[in-house]
Amino acid sequence: MPVTSVGDMAQQFLSQRAGGAIKSDLSRLSNSLSSGRVADIPRHLNGETARFTGITHKLAQIEGFRLVGRETGQMLDGIQTVLNRVNSARSELAGQLLLVSDSSTSAQVDDSARLAKGAFDTIVSALNTRLADRALLSGRAVDATPLLAADAILADLQAAIGADRSVAGISAAVTAWFDDPAGGFATTGYMGDNGATLKRQVSEDQRIDVSARADDPAIRETLKAVALAAVAADLPGLGGEAKLRLVQTSGALLFEAASQIVAMQSRIGSAQAVLAETQTEMTAQETGLQMAVNDLISVDPFDTATRLQSVQLQLETHYSVVGRLSQLSLLRFI
């Protein structure tokens, strides 16, 4: 009978390989027990990984949509904050201007015009608010500041008014500057995008329209109303009677603009509600998919602990045998 012998070096190699395999099993079982998931997914699923891959892909999609949703939510929250500031400034100024009457002194009228100029600056600054260095009210042109500076707009309005100091002439010039689609506010005052509404894909079948820009009719009407009184503060040669009428007209228009600002806030509020509902649905979907993943790759802790104990015993036995073999000598063998 042929005899196959194993030399000392070969025996050492075989022993190391056996020990390495046992330690690998020990590490795999330890990781599975601590994480609650199998370490070798393809082996656990017998190579049938299509369902697992599909679920993980869907979870990755949901995470991407949730990120877009969070960014969109921050944008909508920021826009609502801006609109609240604009509406607050509008409301406060309207209350002040509506107190101006024919019996008001010239000093009171002058103070009201100066208040309007300050409110104009406040509103323009609010509309130029940026979040994470992205303009909130520039539409798709998030890198562009929505509006020209308040002082520059008022200077442009004074140039458009020219030498006319009649109430009708000043009102017509201001109205034309804000309403002309080919000049004034449309080409100089507003510097954002005026194309299609910005849309954000927040789920596989849901888009959110961010339909708020600084050129919205509600914003234009508010700015126009404030500007009527604001230009009166510094317009050279303007008579007291004309200034009074401009301030009174401004107050009345600001009162009328309230409904438009509220409607704009309502649109953004509706978008926020849709976004919140979508985020809730995706959270529920994500929970269900995570449960499906756990069903596929979770381990039985009792079975794994038993197998881990068995491998530990196997490793101890292996080292014990190796230790005894290392103590063999020719004298002991004889």
C-alpha of 114 from chain center: 37
Q: What is the pLDDT of residue 23?
A: 56
Who's near 108: CB < 8 A, 6+ residues apart?
Answer: 100
Q: What is the pLDDT of residue 31?
A: 57
pLDDT tens-digit series, residues 86-104 = 999 999 999 999 999 999 9
Helix (H), strand (E), coil (C) string for 74-133: HHHHHHHHHHHHHHHHHHHHHHHHCCCCCCCCHHHHHHHHHHHHHHHHHHHHHHCCEECC
Q: Is residue 276 scored above 70 in pLDDT? A: yes
pLDDT tens-digit series, residues 106-123 = 999 999 999 999 999 999
Q: What is the pLDDT of residue 53?
A: 82
Beta bridge partners of 198: 210
Q: What is the pLDDT of residue 49?
A: 78
Confidence of residue 238 (pLDDT cuts 50, 70, 90): very high
Beta bridge partners of 135: 130
* Closest alpha carbon to 234 in 148, 177, 161, 179: 161
Backbone angles phi, psi at 203, to 5 degrees: -160, 175
Mean pLDDT in residue range 188-200: 91
Confidence of residue 9 (pLDDT cuts 50, 70, 90): low
Q: What is the pLDDT of residue 219?
A: 96
Q: Residue 18: which H helix or E strand, with range?
A: helix 8-35
Which CATH code, of 3.40.50.2000, 1.20.1330.10, 3.20.20.10, 2.40.50.140, is assigned to 54-289? 1.20.1330.10
Q: What is the pLDDT of residue 40?
A: 57
More confident residue, 218 or 296: 218
Q: What is the pLDDT of residue 289?
A: 86
pLDDT tens-digit series, residues 286-306 = 888 888 876 666 654 545 556
More confident residue, 263 or 302: 263
Mean pLDDT in residue range 178-207: 91
Q: What is the pLDDT of residue 25?
A: 56
Mean pLDDT in residue range 197-226: 92
Pick the range with the lowest mean pLDDT from 16-20, 50-54, 189-193: 16-20
Q: What is the pLDDT of residue 100?
A: 94
Pick the range with the lowest mean pLDDT from 66-80, 165-179, 206-220, 287-301: 287-301
Mean pLDDT of the chain: 83
Q: What is the pLDDT of residue 8?
A: 52
pLDDT tens-digit series, residues 127-155 = 999 998 999 999 999 999 999 999 999 99
Locate 317 and state its tokens. Answer: 């036995």
* Closest alpha carbon to 214 in 256, 152, 261, 170: 261
Mean pLDDT in residue range 299-314: 57
Q: What is the pLDDT of residue 174?
A: 96
Confidence of residue 217 (pLDDT cuts 50, 70, 90): very high
Domain ranges of the chain: 54-289
Confidence of residue 10 (pLDDT cuts 50, 70, 90): low
